[in-house]
Amino acid sequence: MKRLSVLLLSVFCLLLAACGSATTPVPTQPPAAEPPTAVPTPVPPTETSIPAPANPALILATTTSVQDSGLLDLLIPIFEQQTGYTVKTVAVGSGAAIEMAQQGNADALFVHSPSAEKQFMADGWGKDRALIAHNDFIIVGPEADPAKIKGLSPVEAFKAIAAAEQPFIARADKSGTSVKELNIWKSAEIDPVTAKPAWYIETGQGMGASLTIASEKGAYILTDRATYLASKDKLQLVLLVENDPLLLNVYHVITVNPEKWPKVNYDGALAFLNFMVGPDAQGVMETFGVDKFGIPLFTPDGGKTDADLGL
């Protein structure tokens, strides 16, 4: 009995010791670190690819003035980049450009000979015609001004040149400038082309080359203002007659009619016309020349009609 009491007491003590002993703390695991936020890998911008036109080659026959003035050097690269077309520019004067189109050797025209253009359209050679811009013609000559034309009207100036038998340079190339010159002679009731006086010198060349010849010979010449200003530093010629309504100089783009020439690149020509009346080309013309001459060499007319200019 005594043994049983001792055994029970021993068990009780063991249980009491177990309950009273401190529980060994279990080390707490640190919270798992949040995975770092993924930083997206930069993706280089994708270049916008322009669908290649079915026929990317475009032949533009143009007056020499927009070439000699430097305007096309700015406009053509923009058009090519935006559309994927490659432009071959042939600067030959408006008359020769129109003849190229009639022969199927041009897709689009950029010209400034309104009467010839209207006939071109009436005969069915052109499909679309849009007013692009205008500037003006001027009469320049030697600073001494031997014919005393400064400040005269264009008609009176031509009469004075003829009366004084002073050298006059004529392009004689069916260009818009040549057509304008002949119209002024007609208004002056003088026909130097038929009479062929020694003072009337025909070059058969473009505006830039003809201005150079006039400078070398100390002669008078009718020119568009843009080409004169672009070449002025190399010329011994001064501006003598300007700001007359008769001297308005208007530029149009014309697409060649595919019904006349089925192989013409009409889509490319129409794309060029739309570009020229659009904001990019019109914006270039609005400021072209201002940095160097203080005035724009062309006044943009996209969206206007001939009637808006009094034509």
254 pLDDT tier (thresholds 50, 70, 90): very high
| Chain segment 195-207, per-residue pLDDT in tens | 999 999 999 999 9
Residue 199's pLDDT is what? 98
Percentage with pLDDT > 70 across the chain = 84
CA distance linking residue 130 with residue 146, whole number of Å: 41
For the segment(s) 137-247, the CATH number from 3.10.450.50, 3.40.190.10, 3.90.1300.10, 3.30.70.270 is: 3.40.190.10
> Both ends of the chain: CA-CA distance in Å?
142
Residue ranges per domain, the chain? 57-135+250-309, 137-247
Please state which CATH class domain 57-135+250-309 belongs to. alpha beta
Residue 209's pLDDT is what? 95
Let me know if the fold of 57-135+250-309 is the same as that of 137-247: yes
Mean per-residue pLDDT over the chain, rounded: 88
How far out from the chain centre does Cα 37 lie?
50
CA distance linking residue 92 with residue 149, whole number of Å: 30
Residue 45's pLDDT is what? 41
The arithmetic mean of pLDDT across residues 279-306, rounded, is 95
The closest of 243, 236, 242, 190 to 215, measured between CA atoms, is: 236
In the chain, the largest separation of any two C-alpha atoms, in whole Å, equals: 165
Higher pLDDT, 24 or 311: 311
The closest of 132, 232, 146, 230 to 176, measured between CA atoms, is: 132
| Chain segment 44-87, per-residue pLDDT in tens | 444 456 788 999 999 999 998 899 899 999 999 999 999 999 99
Find out whether 206 and 171 touch, Cβ atoms under 8 Å: yes
Residue 88's pLDDT is what? 98
